[in-house]
Every structure is written in C-alpha cells, then in structure tokens.
Amino acid sequence: MRQRVPRTAAVVATDQSPDLDGIRAPAGEVHAWVPATNQTVCGLALSREPLLRFPHVAWAEVQPATGSRADAVTAVCPRCAAGMGARRGEKRWKRVDPRP
C-alpha cells in the first residue's frame, strides 16, 4: 500500500539560533514534522529524541537551495526529504529509440 506524501510539514531541529528579527530559527540537523503527529516523517519519535519543534517554520523554508531560514542549517535529513517528495535528480535512463 502506498503512503500519502504530506502536503505541508513543519520543522524540528537539533539546535536553534535567533534570526535577524529575533525570532528563533532552526539550526543544526533538520527533520520534517507533521504538527498533528508525535514523530518526524522519517520515523523519529519526538518524545524520545532531543529535537526542538518549530511549528512556525515550513519545511520549504529550511531547504539549502531555496530556503530563507537555511543559514544555520548544517544538514537536512535525507529520509525526511525523500518522504516529502524530493528527487535526487533526473531520470537515470533515457529511451533512445521508442517503439511506435
């Protein structure tokens, strides 16, 4: 059975740092978290891990390529990124001569 990809996710992180406005921002390693659950997208239990919750920060904002709050982020969980629909690149194969 195929699981649904969450549409929106917040962030949990191993550390925090204040941004320019003085609002706390995630730092260190970040994970995707659906706020109504007690675990990250990759399966870490929030009650057992020393992770800080950031319900006001969207998952897209901490991505190193395009995120606005990604300055203090050192690592993005690859399992959470895959669970949120990230792709590693383009197709590895290409059909050269397709059949009619």
pLDDT digits (tens, 9 = 90+) for 51-74: 999 999 999 889 888 777 788 899
The structure's pTM equals: 0.79
Pairwise CA distance, residues 61 & 68, whole Å: 5
Q: Into how many domains does the chain fold?
A: 1
Residue 94 lies in a domain: no
Pairwise CA distance, residues 46 & 52, whole Å: 9
Range of the domain at 78: 10-83
Q: How confident is the model at residue 30 (pLDDT cuts 50, 70, 90)?
A: very high
Per-residue pLDDT at 46 exceeds 70 = yes
Q: How confident is the model at residue 8 (pLDDT cuts 50, 70, 90)?
A: confident
Residue 1 lies in a domain: no
Residue 30 lies in a domain: yes
Residue 4 lies in a domain: no
Are 62 and 73 a contacting pair, CB within 8 Å?
yes
